[in-house]
Structure 1
Amino acid sequence: MSAHQPLPLHALSGAGMDRVLPASRWPRWRRAAWLLLPAVAILAWALAPEGLRVPAETLQLAAVQQGPFRDDLALRAQLRPQHQLMIDATEGGRVEAVLVKDGQALRAGQALVQLSNPQREQEVLARTAEVAQQLANLSTLRAAQAGAQAQWRRELAQRRHELALAGEEAERLQALAAQGFVSPLAERTARRQAELQRQLLLQAEQDSQAELQVRAQTVSEMERAVQGLSAGLTLVRQAAERLTVRAPADGQLSGFSLQPGSVIRPGERLGRIDDLRSWLLSAEVDEFYDARIQPGLGAQLLQGGKTWPLVLRERQATVQQGRFKVEFAFVGDAPEGLRPGQSFEIGVRLGAPAAALWLPTGAYLADGGGASVYVLDPDGRHARRRPVQLGRRGSAQVEVLGGLRAGEQVLVGPTAAYEGHAVLRLSGVPAVAASQPLH
């Protein structure tokens, strides 16, 4: 074909490229089934059983009841002595002997442990020697003072004697001079001699007083110094005596675990003495009851078939991790045979019994700022979550203010596994109702 010859018409239209396809292998009814599949799925979802499937035998039910609501609170309290004396080491040293055992009954002043401290022993010896030396010096000063007093007494006696002789001589010469037997000069010389002896006696008396006063002051200062050294020696001896640790009061020894050969430091805790004549019961309370728990509140303990009255003695002001601590004391006598660390169940009366709608404690779960419960449907196959209004909480009851009716069945026990599910689908027979009227 020439390059200038025109192409055929079917070549330009592309009709030569068409071909006949075979018939479809899928029947029309199958294509229709694919189109109906979404609708079938929606219908199946609508007809499927509602809610989370839960075995009914794992659940417990309780009936909402109308009856007396007991406003009581049950607490687990731990027993401890009301008065405890801590035993701390006032001196450090090595444990030479342990004289008592943990849990032993003690008397005031009874020896507990014997310590040894070579430094204290050396201090006692050094202070004793120093006091003895100063006592010897004091004795020497006192002897010198006594000797000086004797010497001055002899000196003054001699001066008085010489003054008396000089006075007699002056009087004798004065009489002779008046008769003309001696010259006036001899008489004046005798008077001057008597005056000199008088002045010497006066000076000797002043000097003796001054010297004896100085000696007395020296002796007094030495006595005070010796008293100070003696007081220091007493303190050192007392410190050495404290190497024998003694019980400060009667009671039972607790927390004592020293062993011979161990070394303790000053201020180290050795144990404590429990006074078993008075007791306290310590417990923790949920912050929900913060406004209702105040000192003076009454409680009771059941022990040995007898009820023992208690009173709230003190409560902790701060709330830690959602709880606060309280302490109860016995009103009157306490049961016999109590031991520190024992745990007891005590009941606290928060208010008088009154008629109310209630359900057992633990049958609700938190839901934001309120509460909700799972309520069993009349058909017994579903439990639906329903918001409720709750009031007071007792040890076994929770007051229902709204959202439930008497006779309705609610789930009791942990429900945290069902969080986020509004409906529970029960498979099997539900458990027997757990709550019964309280008496």
Structure 2
Amino acid sequence: MDVPIQKKKFSKQKIGLVLGILAIVSLIIYVVVQTSGGSKLNVQKERISITEITQNVFQENIPVNGIVLPITTIYLDALEGGRVEEKFVEDGAILKQGEPILRLSNTDLELSLVNQETSVYNLLTQMQISQNAARQNTINRQNQYTDVENNLIEAKRVFDLNNRLYDKGAIGRQDFESSKNNYEYQKERMRLAEQVLSEDSTSSKLEVNQAKNSYARTQSALELMRKKVGDLVVRAPIDGQLTSLDAEIGQSITKGTRLGQVDVLSGFKVRVDIDEHYISRIYNGQRGTFKLNDKTYVLEIKKVFTQVTNGRFQVDMKFVGDLPEGIRRGQNLQIRVALSAEKEALLVSKGGFFQKTGGNWIFKVSEDGSTAYKVNIRLGSQNTEYYEVIEGLNSGDKVITSSYDSFGDTEELILK
């Protein structure tokens, strides 16, 4: 009996066709997944940094560099030009105020001083001669006044006597009129003599005052010239240490040349460079801290220089409290300047992730620690250690803070 042959459902051609279709579909799915950024990447845990989001006290600050300078510096400029003849001290010497540093010579200035002194002495001699002549003239006028006064008295006596005799008829009218005219004449002479003596006194006083003023002005000019010659000896303006002395014997120095400086050793300040981005947030009274020999010290801004050079501006900070032991001029300090008050905030440690994400997202580790996936976040202020988390994370969450440069566009990390 014939056995019916059962027809196969799938031929080899059909099976091959199905497998080909599945391969194409798999390839399409792989490409779609790759281009859509939904890929996964295996990452070794020891090669990344995982930190926990914490709730803690936060203060916004910026790291800056400062250099230690003397609390006060007085610059030494040549008040007069000349040739360096003698150096009394060397660079680095400790000086007292007024102590000589170096001596210049200037023959033109010294000759001018001699001429000025001669002028003063000549003027003084002339003034003395004028005063003596005026005094003699006054004596002569006073003698003349005395004679006129005596003549007036005698004329009055004669007139009064003749007046009585004329009334009695003892003398004639001619004698009476003669004595009367002489009396009136002497009175007029007396009036003129008094006027001349008064004017002479005023004139003498005016001449004396003018002579004194002229002498005083000349004397002031002489003192100024002496001071200019005295300035050829450069002296310490204050107690302190001489630094940056730039002068050698025989060198010609022009007026106004910077010769060096004297630093006050009673204290120090710190000159700090800050990026111009923060210029609107820096003001007097703000504080900063730095560590030296495992101890924290406090600084306070006392002066802000608003001039911006090469994108940076400067501030001067003073020490608050104890001065660090052994600190020296020119020493560099790493300072944290506070820009805000302390507050409670969610904090994420700073790391390389920010360069890739700009603070817009971060890889958050799953609860079981086996994977990490992207989450959107928003960051606020920052300091040298942390970013402030505004939204997207909670306290206790764990995130990857190391660099994301090797992750590409991966959406999820498989942590091994």
TM-score normalised to the size of structure 2?
Answer: 0.70
User: Who is 2:298 aligned against?
Assistant: 309
| Correspondent of 1:271 among 246, 252, 260 | 260
* Correspondence 1:66 to 2:66: no
* Correspondence 1:228 to 2:228: no
User: Who is 2:334 aligned against?
Assistant: 345
| Offset of residue 342 of structure 1 | 0.8
Task: Write out per-residue CA displacement over residues 105-152 of structure 1, whole angstroms, 9 at most, x where no aligned residue.
Answer: 332222223222222212222221112112111111111111112112
1:328–1:152 CA distance, 2 compared to 1 (3 A): closer
- Percentage of matched positions with identical amino acids: 25
User: Who is 1:282 aligned against?
Assistant: 271
1:188–1:269 CA distance, 2 compared to 1 (3 A): same
User: Who is 2:113 aligned against?
Assistant: 124
- 8 Å CA contact 1:69–1:399 kept in 2: the answer is no
Instruction: Map 1:149-160; keep pairs closer than 5 Å.
Output: 149-160=138-149
* AA in 2 matched with 1:247: A
Task: Write out per-residue CA displacement over residues 189-236 of structure 1, whole angstroms, 9 at most, x where no aligned residue.
Answer: 233233323332332332233334333322322222122111221222
Q: Which has the larger radius of gyration?
A: 1
User: Who is 2:78 aligned against?
Assistant: 89
Q: Distance in 2 between matches of 1:392 and 1:174?
A: 120
* AA in 1 matched with 2:348: W
- 8 Å CA contact 2:69–2:330 kept in 1: the answer is yes
Q: Distance in 2 between matches of 1:291 and 1:196?
A: 94
- 8 Å CA contact 1:375–1:410 kept in 2: the answer is no
Q: What do you get for the CA RMSD once the two structures are aligned?
A: 4.6
Q: Which runs of 5+ in 1 are unaligned?
A: 1-38, 51-55, 377-382, 424-429, 431-439
1:136–1:66 CA distance, 2 compared to 1 (3 A): same
* AA in 2 matched with 1:216: K
1:356–1:191 CA distance, 2 compared to 1 (3 A): closer
User: Who is 1:205 aligned against?
Assistant: 194
Q: Distance in 1 between matches of 2:388 and 2:163?
A: 132
| Correspondent of 2:182 among 193, 200, 212 | 193
Task: Write out per-residue CA displacement over residues 390-438 of structure 1, whole angstroms, 9 at most, x where no aligned residue.
Answer: 44433234456559995555545xx8xx699557xxxxxx9xxxxxxxx
Q: Distance in 2 between matches of 1:194 and 1:355?
A: 116
- 8 Å CA contact 1:159–1:197 kept in 2: the answer is yes
Task: Write out per-residue CA displacement over residues 146-165 of structure 1, whole angstroms, 9 at most, x where no aligned residue.
Answer: 11121122222222333334
| Correspondent of 2:348 among 358, 379, 396 | 358
* Correspondence 1:214 to 2:203: yes
- 8 Å CA contact 2:279–2:306 kept in 1: the answer is no
Instruction: Map 1:25-424; keep pairs closer than 5 Å.
Output: 61-67=48-54, 71=58, 73=61, 74-171=63-160, 173=162, 182-285=171-274, 295-315=284-304, 325-348=314-337, 352=342, 356=346, 358-359=348-349, 361-366=350-355, 389-399=378-388, 402=392, 406-407=397-398, 409=400, 411-412=402-403, 422=409
| Offset of residue 275 of structure 1 | 2.9
* AA in 2 matched with 1:330: F
Provide the secondary structure at the position in 2 that maps to 1:336: coil
| Offset of residue 363 of structure 1 | 1.3
| Offset of residue 311 of structure 1 | 2.9
Q: Distance in 2 between matches of 1:214 and 1:111?
A: 50
